[in-house]
Structure 1
Amino acid sequence: MDVIERYINELMEKSTPDRPVWNIEKILQGEKAGWNYIDGCMIKAILEMYSITKDSKYLEFADTFIDYRVKEDGSIEGYDVEELNIDNVNAGKTLFELYDLTGKEKYRKAIDLVYSQIEKMPRTKEGNFWHKNIYPNQVWLDGLYMCQPFYMEYEARFNDRKKCEDIYSQFANITKHMRDSETGLYYHAYDSSREMFWCDKVTGLSQNFWLRALGWYSMALLDTMDKDNHKEQAELHQMKEAFQSLIDAMLKYQDPSGMWYQVVNLGGMDKNYLETSGSAIFSYAILKGVRLGYLPESYAEYGKKAFEGICKTYLHMEEGNMSLGGICLVAGLGGKDRRDGTFQYYMSEPVVKDDAKGVGPFLLAYTEMKRCGWEYQS
């Protein structure tokens, strides 16, 4: 077993559904975990580990973790549909895989419950889901990853693709309203009402290009395309073009280390730092994009370089255990603390170790590296 698998096993051994060691936000708040996108990221990655290793411990851990929350009637402890928080859809992605692998009918019922939130989500005037009910008229790049791959998988599997046009149009709106034509990058968020203090009153856009949001969006494009079972769709070709052009734009900013900066296009600015979670996401997105045929084979070297750069920069032994550092804990806009989206704001958020927002994507990238026959070299 290599050192990365040992690291993941250590995290699993120390975690329970109520207190997973990778959910640093809940640990700092002194709260139980509940149903949240952070654990969803990690369990999805652990299921991917099962997919490539066929080691039953990964499936058993994931099943135990999600089973603990999902009741026999399909209700989910700690999940309230009426909260209308797009982040809460993300953990629902694990239910499809677990339903297929275990046959537990309660997972199928829980899938329907999560889908019922999608049917209730309020929308901007352009037709995109609000990020959360508490953030009216706002679209954040993060939210496309949290929801759209689940939405597409449900449509493809259970709803005869009836609402696929809605999914594709939401992505088209992102390209239209949030992409910067000069850099090819996407701004973190968009306020359709132009009312929020953090947005440009003409464009509705936030100020900066945040790495992890761009990463979530690249995964949203990639994973949504992967879930559509009608590959000849014209809209799918547009998404493929959007995905490749985003990767091309990001490669212009890839640091010699292989990683990317927290605020992507301002690498030389004081306090800006090479950030793990977004770099891991792009490693995964590039490698998986090559594997699925959405990117040329030659791009794989950039994904491998990113992964190896993370290992060299931030994967270290501490007190006898492996630890992954350089992870931005959280970043958003608005809210009670009036996050304004300035460069200084993105530098002010805590940088932590071993949080699932970094570890989950790192593990996903590792599974793609394994598919390439890569071995860890310390």
Structure 2
Amino acid sequence: MPRFTLFALTLTCLSISSTLVSARPSSYAVWAADSAIKRGQGNGLDSSGKASVSYEHGELQWGLRLLFERTGNQTYYNYIQKGAENIVFPNGTVHGNYKLSDFSLDPVRTGPTFLYLLSKTGETKYRTAADTFRTQLNGHPRTAQGQFWHKLRYPNQGWLDGIYMGDVFYAQYTKDLQPTNASAWADINNQFNLMFQNTLQNSTVPNSAGLLYHGYDFSKTTVWASADRGHSPEVWDRALGWFMMALVDVLDIIGPTPPAAQQQLQTSLLQILRTLAPRVKAAADKDSGVWWLVISQPGRSENYFESSGSAMFVYSLLKAVRRGYVSDSDGSIVAAMKKAYEYMANNWVVANSDGTMGWTNTVQVGSLDGAGDFNYYVGVPTDLNDLKGLAAFLLASLEYETLS
């Protein structure tokens, strides 16, 4: 083959490859969901094919449910159902890595999937599975104030993460199966309020944004506990993101005109959300529009813009405005969230040659198992296609695409 012909062919191939890689569907929500499904993510199995009761899967399934309701594409419903069947035996036993005796709130995040499928199918196995988690909450260890411990192995510690993991299910279960259970509604209200009160930044601390620390130790005995309320040292973006999503999701569950037993919860959640929403907006980086991994240390060396928390904030604040939970009379919240979303789409979305979407810059984990300080958070690696971030981007995309 002549050299110039080979050169032209190479250029043509590169051009085709570039076109494939840069091709982006009109709906990023669909793209994110289809990509996760193609990779087999969030299907109730771990990487070795064993049953896994995972909060990440519950988060994705929540997004797939919303996408199914919007598009009517049965693929999404079927994937949700298959994911549940992988962790629930026909008799309703939740199996795999789940142990009630661990008293961890994390696996409870799959509970809304069971309740959703129960409402769709009426199959008793989903009621039995949901009852398993409700039984766990009945005996779950608490602080003296009544806050659920995040896990049995973290005595007296409440984490923002746990509100999303446990209380979205708690609210959905109560709404669906025990709507007049006033003590349950009061308990859910208490969970949110205690977390808010014990983790809220004081205005006098350095770099205070009036946001929420990652967690607190009511006993004040762990290494990171502050002397006043036992709170942890930093505001971690994803922990706050979990809490913000829980606020809007539980408000959706109870509805705009709840019966008397749920009205105090609605009042509390609206008050908390209306307090935090403008502060979350204000805490975004002014140039990029997105949020630092450690929000309480903006611009510090080794800190970086993190994708899962940013996506959670966009989802929460756009939904808050759309539902009327938060006023945005001047349009500034929506404008800020659009700016953040467009940064995410332009910087953290990767178009793969196989047509799937890649997602970058999601920190692998954030725990209060150790020092809980700045160096800990920035020392945790980021992952490609981490489901905690990808599912959050799916949710953010659903809200963003509602704007157009």
TM-score (norm 2): 0.85
Corresponding position of 1:207: 233
Q: How far 1:354 sits from its partner (Å)?
A: 0.6
CA–CA separation in structure 1 for the residues paired with 2:270 and 2:336 = 18
Q: How far 1:70 sits from its partner (Å)?
A: 1.3
Give 2:143's match in structure 1, choosing from 103, 116, 124.
Answer: 124
CA–CA separation in structure 2 for the residues paired with 1:242 and 1:203 = 19
5+ long unaligned stretches in structure 2: 1-24, 204-208
Greater mean alpha carbon deviation, residues 221-230 or residues 74-83: 221-230
Give 1:241's match in structure 2, choosing from 263, 271, 275.
Answer: 271
Contact 1:17 1:33 in 2 (8 A): no
Corresponding position of 2:73: 55
Give 1:88's match in structure 2, choosing from 101, 107, 125.
Answer: 107
Corresponding position of 1:12: 37
CA–CA separation in structure 1 for the residues paired with 2:32 and 2:62 = 17
Corresponding position of 2:191: 170
Q: Deviations over 1:313-347 (max 9, x none)?
A: 1112244442110101101012xxxx211111110
2:92 pairs with 1:67: no
CA–CA separation in structure 2 for the residues paired with 1:82 and 1:210 = 28
Q: How far 1:33 sits from its partner (Å)?
A: 5.2
TM-score (norm 1): 0.90
CA–CA separation in structure 1 for the residues paired with 2:69 and 2:146 = 36
The one-letter code of the counterpart of 2:299 is G
Give 1:303's match in structure 2, choosing from 334, 337, 340.
Answer: 337
5+ long unaligned stretches in structure 1: 21-25, 374-378
CA–CA separation in structure 1 for the residues paired with 2:181 and 2:399 = 29
Contact 1:73 1:106 in 2 (8 A): yes
Corresponding position of 2:310: 279
Q: Deviations over 1:269-321 (max 9, x none)?
A: 01111110000000100111112110124222222222211111111224444
Give 1:108's match in structure 2, choosing from 123, 127, 133.
Answer: 127
Contact 1:186 1:209 in 2 (8 A): yes
Residues 34 and 127 of structure 1, relative CA distance in 2, 3 Å threshold: same
Give 2:367's match in structure 1, choosing from 327, 332, 336.
Answer: 332
Q: How far 1:167 sits from its partner (Å)?
A: 1.0
Query: What is the aligned-residue RMSD (CA, Å)?
Result: 1.9
The one-letter code of the counterpart of 2:79 is F
Q: Deviations over 1:182-203 (max 9, x none)?
A: 1311111100111111212343
Give 2:181's match in structure 1, choosing from 136, 158, 161.
Answer: 161
Residues 184 and 17 of structure 1, relative CA distance in 2, 3 Å threshold: closer
Corresponding position of 1:352: 383
CA–CA separation in structure 2 for the residues paired with 1:3 and 1:291 = 19
CA–CA separation in structure 2 for the residues paired with 1:200 and 1:165 = 28
CA–CA separation in structure 1 for the residues paired with 2:62 and 2:324 = 22
The one-letter code of the counterpart of 1:68 is N
CA–CA separation in structure 2 for the residues paired with 1:328 and 1:53 = 30
Contact 1:259 1:309 in 2 (8 A): yes
Identity of aligned residues (%): 31
CA–CA separation in structure 1 for the residues paired with 2:265 and 2:34 = 40
Contact 2:109 2:165 in 1 (8 A): yes
Q: Deviations over 1:98-148 (max 9, x none)?
A: 222233221122111111111110000111000000111000010011111
CA–CA separation in structure 1 for the residues paired with 2:172 and 2:249 = 9
CA–CA separation in structure 2 for the residues paired with 1:111 and 1:55 = 26
CA–CA separation in structure 2 for the residues paired with 1:319 and 1:33 = 30
CA–CA separation in structure 2 for the residues paired with 1:85 and 1:103 = 27
CA–CA separation in structure 2 for the residues paired with 1:268 and 1:33 = 41
Residues 203 and 91 of structure 1, relative CA distance in 2, 3 Å threshold: same
CA–CA separation in structure 1 for the residues paired with 2:321 and 2:41 = 35
Contact 1:315 1:323 in 2 (8 A): yes
Q: Deviations over 1:62-84 (max 9, x none)?
A: 11111222122211122222211
Q: How far 1:263 sits from its partner (Å)?
A: 0.6
Q: How far 1:180 sits from its partner (Å)?
A: 1.1
Corresponding position of 1:312: 346
Corresponding position of 2:242: 216
CA–CA separation in structure 2 for the residues paired with 1:267 and 1:16 = 32
CA–CA separation in structure 2 for the residues paired with 1:306 and 1:331 = 22
CA–CA separation in structure 1 for the residues paired with 2:151 and 2:107 = 10
Give 2:284's match in structure 1, choosing from 230, 247, 254.
Answer: 254
The one-letter code of the counterpart of 2:244 is S
The one-letter code of the counterpart of 1:354 is N
Residues 142 and 54 of structure 1, relative CA distance in 2, 3 Å threshold: same
Larger Rg: 2
Residues 316 and 107 of structure 1, relative CA distance in 2, 3 Å threshold: same
May I ask how many residue pairs the two structures share in their alignment?
Answer: 362
Corresponding position of 2:4: none
CA–CA separation in structure 2 for the residues paired with 1:106 and 1:88 = 17
Residues 154 and 7 of structure 1, relative CA distance in 2, 3 Å threshold: closer
Residues 18 and 359 of structure 1, relative CA distance in 2, 3 Å threshold: closer
Q: How far 1:252 sits from its partner (Å)?
A: 1.4
